[in-house]
Chain A
Amino acid sequence: MPLAALAACLCLPSLWAQGNQYLTAEASQKLVAKRGAAAEAKIAVSVQPGFHVNSNTPSDAYLIPLKLTWAPGGALEPGAVVFPKPQMEKYEFSDKPLSVFTGDFELTAKFKVPAGASQGPGIMLGKLRYQACNNNSCFPPKTVEVRVSYQVQ
C-alpha cells in the first residue's frame, strides 16, 4: 500500500500535533535571588518545527498574543517579561507579514525579591498562553506551565 503509507507519513506530524502542545517552555536554571534585590529567570521556549506562534505584539487585533502570567504566591514579586524581537513572516494565508515566533527563543522574566522575603527554596508557577498555526491551519489557544525554581538568600 505505497500510497497509504506515503499518506500516513505525510499526516503523522499533524496527527501527532493534535491533542498535544505545539510549544515547550522551561526555566533554564535555578534562580538564586538575594533579598531586597532584583532577579531574572531565563525561560527557554521551543516551537515545534512547521508551526509558529503569535508574538507578544501580534500584527492584528484579532490575533492572540503570547503571554506569560504568574500564579499568586511565592516569595518573588513578578515584574516585566522581556520578549525577543519578533520575526515578521509572510504566510500563504496572510496578505502582509505577521509578527511571530518560531523555533527556539528565550524569554526573560523579571522579579523583585522583597527585603522581608523568607530565605530558602521555592517555586514560581507561571502559565504561558499561546496560539499556534502552521501554513494552512490554526489551533485553539493553549497554555503550558512554567516552573521557576528559586533560592532566596
Chain B
Amino acid sequence: MSALRLGTVLASSVLLGGLIYWGWPAKPARAASLKPDGERHAAPDFALKDADGKTVRLSDYKGKVVLLDFWATYCGPCKIEIPWFMDFERKHKDQGFSVLGVDMDDEGWDAVKPFVNDEGINYRIVVGNDATADMFGGIEALPTTFLIDRDGKIAAVHVGLTSKSDFENAIEQLLQTPAHAAGGAGRVSLPAELVGAR
C-alpha cells in the first residue's frame, strides 16, 4: 500500500470515527438537552407541602410534562429563570404541562412566602429539604432543573442558569410525545423516611 493510499484510509477512518462518536448528521433532530428515551430514568417521588399546607407528590403529575425547579430566594440565577417558568406555565398548562418549584431555603416558608407574593409566581411551590435533594442525586448548585416526561422519567437536567430557548424547545418536544405507559408509570416509590416534608 502506498503512503498516499495509507493516508487516505487513515483519514477516512478518523472522519468515520468522528462522525460515529460525535453524532451522525442524519440523526433525527432532538432538543439539545433531552436524553434519548432509553437513557431516561424514573424520577423519584416525594411528598412535600405547598403554601396552603397541602401535600404535593410528584406522582400527582402523572401523564404530564413537569418542569421541576430546585431554587432558593437568595439565588440570583434562579430569579432570572422564574419569569420564564411563569411564561411556560401560562402558555402550556392546558397542554398537560406544569411547573413545580422546590424551594431550598433553610428558613422555609418564612423566606419563601414573601418572595412568592413579591414575584407573583403563578405555579406551585413546595419547600424541599436535604432528603429531597438527596433523592435527586444531592443537589448543591441552584438552580437545578429537571424536565420530566409524561412517563415520569427524567428527560433533561440543567444545572445552573440555562437559556430560555433550551427549555422552550425541550418542553415543546416533550409535549408532542405521548406517554408510553398508561398512567405515567415508572416513578419510584421511596420509604416514608425519605419522603420528607416540613
Contact = CB atoms under 8 A, between A and B. Distances in A.
A128 to B, nearest CB: 16
A20 B18 CA distance: 37
Interface string A61-93: 011100000000000000000000000000111
B24 interface: no
A62 B140 contact: no
Contacts of A92: 77, 161
Contacts of A64: 74
Nearest to A131: B74
Contacts of B80: 93
A18 B142 CA distance: 12
Contact of B106 (A136, A138, A140): A140
Given A14-B141, A92-B161, A93-B161, A138 B78 contact: yes
Interface residues of B, number: 23
A19 interface: yes
Contact of A140 (B22, B79, B140, B160): B140
Contacts of A23: none
A91 B160 CA distance: 13
Contacts of A136: 77, 160-161
A14 to B, nearest CB: 7
24 contacts: A14-B141, A62-B74, A62-B115, A63-B74, A91-B76, A92-B77, A92-B161, A93-B76, A93-B77, A93-B80, A94-B76, A136-B77, A136-B161, A137-B141, A137-B159, A137-B161, A138-B75, A138-B77, A138-B141, A138-B142, A140-B72, A140-B104, A140-B142, A141-B74
> Which 3 pairs from chain A and chain B are nearest by CB?
A137-B141, A136-B160, A138-B75
Interface of A: 3, 14, 18-19, 62-64, 91-94, 98, 131, 133, 136-141
Interface of B: 21-22, 72-80, 104, 106, 111, 115, 138, 140-143, 159-161
